[in-house]
């Protein structure tokens, strides 16, 4: 394209130029054009499939034919509330809560260091260290953990070398969380969950802490607050939206996962595994759908409670 | 050496950041109850000095005393000083009154008294009706008052103000200058005020310290700083000055040292007007004219060499045109010999 070739078009007020002017004068039109495709995707494909799923949870399965009966009923939810199924729900929610709390406890100091102290190279190293595990395959990481936690694995060997076998045995002998080996105990499941989801806690907390200006902590010290008081009254409340965002990730990802508890842990089922089984081999999509409503409900309750406590007031 | 009339004492204090000497062997005193300004360009060390008093920085060398006790290693939360920050640093997750009551809450003052004192202080800064708002719902000027109330409610022995009016527009700034000064007289607390605005420092302060490159160039009353600048830097930074170098000084006034001369202290003599008794007379040619409203500034090339700015009130003087020959005169005692080299 030479200048000579474009000049006549400009003089004739070509269609491109007129369209550009129209868009310039009507900013909303450009916005609609830009947003329409992603909104359609989000609305139809993304939310549409979610609502289709929720709809299914109000259907039921005919006991004799095994066919789905497309009539509204609450009988599927009655099935969900049986003792065996509630057991699965409570186990999953308990694991998700434990993983979330552990992620918050481990992630917060790391995020705090990265946001407040790390500069230049240290900051780059922090980002790489956090992101690096996300670059490799989820399955590979989980199987690697299986090797680490197995009875003949790295942890057992290391405990033997350090003459700490008694400690490992003591931990494994704990009720509920213990087991024959770490790879077949809830403790192992939780360890791997924490490892896999930790970055999703660290990054939002770090982003929230980055936004707390240094002058705020100086102001609280200036007004007489010791570092622990500054932390409690200024830093923690302002970082809490980040913790809430991170906990949404860690909680819902743990709640829906079906691979990790299948590979590491006490073979007792979690929600994700049950959903997989119900909609696959058992062909009971309504009950599978009803199971998926549980995490959504739990998150809704959690976020409402967090909002009531004022967690998002500073946003 | 415990002297109650000295609020703050810098005793050979230095604060270095790596190879940067932000504050370099500074010694001075701030008297109890005075309005003290630290004036200087950015990077001159004035803000670092303020942060040293607050305790956000600790001296690399030397001693800092607050009311006679050495606080060189005391953290900010153990010092009886409070700060009004440049960006106000209000807590976004607390209401206005909770912000003001923060220091009282930390000191475990019971909640009803906390609330009462916070509201009293808010009334004093004329924000009584906004106690329940969030900082984000306030204008810049209102936030500034909240920051002031939050610092003053603790009744500190020294109040530090870090360019608190910098973000406000001109009219509001002038109004706040008046208010701050009135407030300082009312509460009787030592105010230490950091600014790069010389007009602000001159208008509000009892005494001004002029900072340059980590050192104090001069400490004196505003009028003394203006009338008798001790160094070329002070003469140039505070108000406008003609800097006359040593060679020209010799030709004009028989002085061996460079001197500073305020443009408004030079008179343009009318035709046939006699030279005042104690004045120097110099012939020159108008080089440039700037009309400034109340005054007109002329650039005048002097016959013996050099050039000066002259500011003339537009009261009844006839305007001069470029190229016009004029006679200038100034009183000998208005030329201030400078220490150090001329600019």
Question: What ipTM, to 2 d.p.?
Answer: 0.82
Choose between A3 and A246: higher pLDDT. Answer: A246
pLDDT of residue B270: 83
Task: For residue B313, list its beta bridge partners.
Answer: B295
Cβ under 8 Å to B: A residues 200-219 = 213, 215-216, 218-219
- Kindly state the tokens that stand for A233: 């009254």
φ, ψ dihedrals at A249, nearest 5°: -60, -55
Q: Which of A47, A97, A312 is CA-nearest to residue A197?
A: A97
Per-residue pLDDT band at A12 (split at 50, 70, 90): low
pLDDT tens digits along A160-211? 999 988 988 888 888 888 888 888 889 999 999 999 999 999 999 999 999 9
Is residue A212 within 8 Å of residue A234, measured between CB atoms? Answer: yes
Element at B151 (helix H, strand E): helix B140-152
Top CATH class of B6-237 equals alpha beta
Residue of B nearest to A227 (CA): B77
- Show the beta-strand stretches assigned E in A18-89: 60-61, 68-69
Q: Between chains, do B150 and A223 touch, taking CB under 8 Å as contact?
A: yes
Does residue A8 register a pLDDT over 80? no
- Of the candidates B89, B90, B106, the beta carbon closest to that of A224 is on B106
Q: Find, among A294, A249, A273, A220, the residue nearest to B107 by Cα.
A: A220
| DSSP-based helix, strand, coil % in chain B, nearest 5 | 30, 35, 35
Would you list the domain boundaries of chain B?
6-237, 243-337
- What pTM was estimated for this model as a whole? 0.78
pLDDT the model gives residue B343: 40
pLDDT of residue A278: 85
Q: What is the pLDDT of residue B304?
A: 86
Cα(B224)–Cα(B202) distance, integer angstroms: 10
* Rounded Cα distance, A269 and A262, in Å: 8
Fold entry, domain A83-308:
MetI-like fold (1.10.3720)
Asked if residues B10 and B28 have their Cβ atoms less than 8 Å apart, the reply is yes
| Predicted pLDDT of residue B342 | 40
Q: Residue B201's pLDDT is what?
A: 92
Provide, as residue numbers in chain A, all residues whose Cβ is less than 8 Å from the Cβ of B151: 222-223
Residue A274 pLDDT > 80: yes
CATH 2.40.50.140 fits B243-337, yes or no: yes
Chain A residues with CB under 8 Å of B89 CB are 213, 215-216, 218-219
Distances (CA, A) of A103 to A95, A195, A229, B47, B218: 12, 8, 23, 40, 57
Asked if A224 has any chain B CB less than 8 Å from its own CB, the reply is yes
The sheet with strand B158-162 has its strands ordered as: B81-84, B158-162, B190-195, B35-39, B207-212, B215-220
Band (pLDDT 50/70/90 cuts) for residue A13 is: confident
Instruction: Using alpha carbons, list the distances in angstroms from residue B72 to A119, B3, B57, B308.
Output: 27, 17, 9, 47
Chain B residues whose C-beta sits inside 8 Å of any chain A C-beta = 54-56, 75-77, 81-83, 85-87, 89-93, 102-103, 105-107, 134, 150-151, 154
Tokens 């906390």 sit on residue: B114
Nearest to A314 among B55, B93, B103 (CB): B93
pLDDT at residue A49 above 80? yes
**Which residues in B lie closer than 8 A to residue A216 (C-beta atoms)?**
89, 91
- Range of weakest confidence among A33-37, A72-76, A266-270, A280-284: A280-284
The pLDDT profile of chain B, 343 residues, written as one tens digit per residue, is 445 689 999 999 999 998 999 999 999 999 999 999 999 999 899 999 999 999 999 999 999 999 989 999 999 999 999 999 999 999 999 999 999 999 999 999 999 999 999 999 999 888 889 989 999 999 988 999 999 999 999 999 999 999 988 878 888 888 888 888 998 998 889 999 999 998 899 999 999 999 999 999 999 999 999 988 888 899 889 888 888 888 888 888 888 888 888 999 999 988 888 888 888 889 999 999 999 988 999 999 998 888 999 999 988 888 889 999 999 999 988 888 887 554 4
- The helix-helix angle for A121-135 and A83-116 (nearest 10°) equals 160
A242 neighbors A205 (Cβ within 8 angstroms): yes
* Phi, psi (deg, nearest 5) at residue A140: -60, -45
Q: Which residue is closest to B87 within chain A, CA to CA? A: A215
How far, in Å, CA of B72 to CA of B132, rounded? 39
Domain boundaries, chain A: 17-44, 83-308
């Amino acid at each position: 394209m030479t200048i000579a070739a474009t000049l006549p078009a400009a003089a004739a007020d070509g269609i491109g130029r007129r369209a550009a002017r129209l868009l310039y004068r009507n900013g909303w039109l450009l916005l609609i054009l830009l947003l329409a495709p992603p909104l359609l995707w989000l609305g139809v494909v993304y939310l549409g499939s979610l609502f289709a799923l929720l709809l299914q949870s109000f259907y039921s399965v005919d006991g004799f034919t095994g066919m789905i009966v497309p009539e509204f009923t609450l009988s599927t939810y009655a099935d969900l509330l049986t003792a065996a199924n509630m057991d699965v729900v409570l186990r999953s929610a308990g694991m998700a809560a434990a993983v979330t709390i552990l992620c918050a406890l481990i992630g917060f100091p790391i995020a705090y260091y990265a946001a407040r102290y790390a500069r230049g190279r240290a900051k780059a190293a922090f980002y790489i260290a956090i992101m690096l595990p996300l670059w490799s395959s989820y399955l590979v990481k989980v199987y690697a953990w299986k090797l680490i936690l197995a009875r003949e694995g790295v942890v057992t060997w290391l405990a033997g070398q350090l003459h700490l076998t008694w400690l490992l045995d003591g931990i494994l002998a704990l009720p509920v969380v213990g087991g024959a080996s770490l790879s077949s105990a809830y403790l192992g499941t939780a360890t791997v969950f924490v490892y896999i989801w930790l970055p999703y806690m660290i990054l939002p907390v770090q982003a929230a802490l980055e936004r707390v200006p240094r002058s705020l902590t100086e102001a609280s010290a200036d007004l007489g607050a010791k570092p622990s008081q500054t932390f409690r009254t200024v830093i923690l409340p302002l970082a809490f939206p980040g913790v809430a965002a991170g906990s949404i990730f860690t909680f819902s990802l743990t709640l829906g996962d079906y691979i990790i508890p299948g590979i590491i842990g006490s073979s007792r089922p979690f929600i994700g595994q049950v959903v997989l089984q119900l909609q696959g081999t058992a062909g009971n999509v309504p009950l599978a759908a009803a199971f998926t409503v549980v995490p959504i409900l739990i998150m809704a309750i959690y976020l409402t409670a967090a909002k009531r406590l004022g967690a998002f007031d500073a946003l | 050496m415990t002297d109650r009339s000295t609020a703050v004492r810098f005793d050979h204090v230095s604060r270095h950041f790596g190879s940067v000497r932000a504050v370099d062997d500074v010694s001075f005193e701030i008297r109890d109850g005075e309005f003290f300004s630290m004036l200087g360009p950015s990077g001159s060390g004035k803000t670092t000095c303020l942060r040293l008093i607050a305790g956000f920085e600790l001296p690399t060398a030397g001693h800092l005393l607050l009311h006679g006790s050495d606080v060189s290693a005391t953290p900010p939360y153990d010092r009886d000083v409070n700060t009004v920050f440049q960006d106000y640093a209000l807590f976004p997750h607390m209401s206005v009154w909770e912000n003001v009551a923060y220091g009282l809450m930390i000191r475990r003052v019971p909640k009803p008294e906390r609330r009462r004192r916070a509201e009293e202080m808010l009334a004093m800064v004329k924000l009584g009706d906004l106690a329940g708002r969030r900082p984000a719902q306030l204008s810049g000027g209102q936030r500034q008052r909240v920051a002031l109330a939050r610092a003053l409610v603790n009744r500190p022995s020294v109040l530090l103000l870090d360019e608190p009016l910098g973000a406000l527009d001109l009219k509001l700034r002038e109004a706040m200058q008046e208010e701050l000064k009135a407030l300082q007289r009312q509460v009787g607390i030592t105010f230490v005020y950091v600014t790069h605005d010389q007009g602000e420092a001159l208008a509000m302060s009892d005494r001004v310290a002029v900072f340059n490159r980590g050192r104090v160039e001069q400490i004196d009353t505003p009028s003394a700083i203006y009338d008798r600048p001790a160094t070329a830097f002070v003469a140039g930074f505070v108000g406008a000055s003609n800097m006359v170098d040593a060679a020209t000084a010799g030709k004009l006034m028989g002085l061996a040292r460079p001197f500073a001369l305020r443009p408004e202290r030079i008179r343009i003599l009318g035709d046939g007007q006699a030279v005042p008794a104690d004045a120097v007379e110099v012939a020159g040619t108008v080089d440039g004219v700037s009309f400034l409203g109340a005054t007109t500034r002329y650039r005048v090339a002097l016959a013996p060499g050099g050039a000066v700015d002259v500011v003339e009130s537009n009261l009844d003087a006839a305007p001069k045109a470029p190229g016009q020959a004029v006679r200038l005169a100034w009183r000998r005692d208005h030329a201030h010999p400078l220490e150090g080299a001329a600019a």
